[in-house]
Chains A and B, each alone.
Chain A
Amino acid sequence: MIRTEFLCKSFGKLKVLQDISTEIKKGEVVAIIGPSGSGKSTLLRCLNLLEVPTSGRVYVNDHDITEPKSDILKIRQQLGMVFQHFHLFPHMTVLENVTYAPIKVKRLPKDEAQREGMKLLTRVGLAEKAAVYPSRLSGGQKQRVAIARALAMEPEAVLFDEPTSALDPEMVKEVLEVMQALAHTGITMAIVTHEMGFAREVADRILFLDGGRLAEDAPPDEFFTNPKCERAQQFLEKML
Chain B
Amino acid sequence: MNLDFTQIVPDIPYILQGIPTTLLFALLSTFFGFLWGTVLSLFKVSSIKPLFWFGTAYTSIFRGTPLLVQIILIYNATPQLIGFTPTELQAGVFTFTLNSSAYISEAIRAGILAVDKGQREAAMSLGVPYRWTMRDIILPQAFKNILPALANESITLLKDTAQVSTIGVLEVLRRAQTVAAKTFRYFEPLLIAAIVYYVLIMLLTIGATVLERRLRRSD
Contact = CB atoms under 8 A, between A and B. Distances in A.
The reply to whether chain A is a binding partner of chain B is: yes
Contacts of A91: 140-141, 144, 218
Contact of B124 (A76, A88, A149, A159): A76
A153 B125 CA distance: 10
A211 B137 CA distance: 36
A213 B128 CA distance: 32
A73 B133 CA distance: 12
Contacts of B122: 81, 83, 87-89, 146, 149
A79 B141 CA distance: 26
B128 A105 contact: yes
A181 interface: no
Given A87-B119, A91-B218, A149 B126 contact: yes
B118 A101 contact: no
Interface in B104-125: 116, 118-119, 121-125
Nearest to A105: B127
Contact of A100 (B118, B124, B136, B219): B136
A73 B218 contact: no
A133 B219 CA distance: 8
B21 to A, nearest CB: 37
A101 B137 contact: no
B216 to A, nearest CB: 10
Interface residues of B, number: 21
Provide the main secondary structure of the chain B interface. helix
Of the candidates A73, A91, A135, A146, the one having the most CB atoms from chain B within 10 angstroms of its own CB is A91
A1 B190 CA distance: 76
Contact of B127 (A77, A92, A133): A77
B59 to A, nearest CB: 27
A152 to B, nearest CB: 8
B132 interface: yes
A127 to B, nearest CB: 20
Contacts of B123: 101
B168 interface: no
B24 to A, nearest CB: 32
Given A73-B127, A91-B141, A101-B128, A50 B121 contact: yes
A73 B129 contact: yes
Contacts of A85: 118
Nearest to A48: B125
A74 interface: yes
Contacts of A50: 121, 124-125
Interface of B: 116, 118-119, 121-129, 132, 136-137, 140-141, 144, 217-219
15 contacts: A73-B127, A73-B129, A77-B126, A87-B122, A89-B119, A90-B219, A91-B141, A91-B218, A101-B128, A104-B132, A104-B136, A133-B217, A134-B218, A153-B126, A159-B125
